[in-house]
Amino acid sequence: MGTKTLDLRGLSCPQPVLETKQAIEDPLFDELAILVDTKTSVENIQRLVSDRKDIRYTIEEQDDFTINLMKIKG
């Protein structure tokens, strides 16, 4: 199991959220570091994962946003 880094900065909707979704479904990774550059993308990804009990995440804001996503084993 490993960490996957996704640089989704500058992509139009819905690509950031769609690529995040695909990466979550990939069993090869249990941690994701997702880099986005707009608040809109952060909100979209939050909506994707906020209802899921098997995923925890933190958001770091510098110039861009990094969403660190962790899959919890049930």
Partner 1 sequence: MSFFKAHWKIIVCGTFIGSVAALLQKYGNPPNMGICVACFERDIAGALGFHRVAVAQYIRPEILAFVLGSFASSLIFKEFRARGGSLPLVRFFLGFFAMFGALVFLGCPWRAMLRLAGGDGNAIIGIAGLIFGIYIGILFIKKGYTLGRNYPAYRLSGLLVSLMMLGLLFLLIFKPSLPTGAPFFSEKGPGSQHAAIVVSFIAAFFIGIFAQRTRFCTMGSIRDIILLKDFHLASGVMSLLVFAFLANIVFGQFHPGFANQPIAHSNHLWNFLGMTLAGLAYALAGGCPGRQLFLAGEGDIDAGVFVLGMIVGAGFAHNFSIAASPAGIAPWSSYAVITGLLFCIATGLFMKKHIA
Contact residues toward partner 1 (CB under 8 A) are 9-15, 17-18, 21, 37-40, 43, 47-48
* Shortest spacing between CB 43 and partner 1, in angstroms: 7
CA-CA-CA-CA torsion for 14, 39, 32, 53, nearest 10 degrees? -90
Q: Of 51 and 73, which has the nearer Cβ to partner 1?
A: 51
Q: How far apart are CA 61 and CA 53, in angstroms?
A: 24
**Alpha helical stretches, state H, 1-74:** 15-25, 39-49
* Shortest spacing between CB 11 and partner 1, in angstroms: 6
Q: Of 45 and 73, which has the nearer Cβ to partner 1?
A: 45
